Amino acid sequence: MKTKSGGRENSEDLRAIFHAKRLKCTPQRLAVLKVLKESGAYLSINMLDKKVKEMLPGTGLATVYRALETLEELGLVAKVHLEDGCHSYAVAPEGHMHPIVCTECNKVIDFAECPLGELSEKLTQDTGIVIQNHFLQLFGKCRECQA
Residues at the site binding its own copies, with contacts judged by CB under 8 A: 81, 83, 85, 87, 100, 102-103, 109-110, 112, 115-116, 118-120, 123, 127-143, 146
Residue 71 CB contacts under 8 Å (≥ 6 apart), including other chains: 29, 32, 33, 77, 89
Does residue number 50 form part of the binding site for DNA (CB under 7 A)? no
State CA 57 to chain mean position distance.
23
* Binder among 6, 60, 117, 140 for DNA (CB under 7 A): 60
Q: State the binding partner of 22 from its own copies, DNA, none, CB within 5 to 8 A by kind.
A: DNA
Question: Buried b vs exposed e over 125-135: b needs ≥16 C-beta within 10 Å?
Answer: eeeeeeeeeee
Beta-bridged to residue 77, according to DSSP, are 91
DSSP 75: T
Rounded to 10°, the helix 61-73/27-39 angle is 80
Q: State the binding partner of 18 from DNA, its own copies, none, CB within 5 to 8 A by kind.
A: DNA
Does residue number 25 form part of the binding site for DNA (CB under 7 A)? yes
Assess contact for 117 and 123: CB atoms under 8 A.
Answer: no
Q: CB count, 10 Å around CB of 49?
A: 20
Nearer to its own copies, 77 or 100 (CB): 100
Nearer to its own copies, 16 or 138 (CB): 138
Nearer to DNA, 67 or 92 (CB): 67
Q: State the binding partner of 62 from DNA, its own copies, none, CB within 5 to 8 A by kind.
A: DNA
Residues that bind DNA (CB under 7 A): 15, 18-19, 22-29, 45-46, 56, 58-63, 65-67, 69-70, 86-87
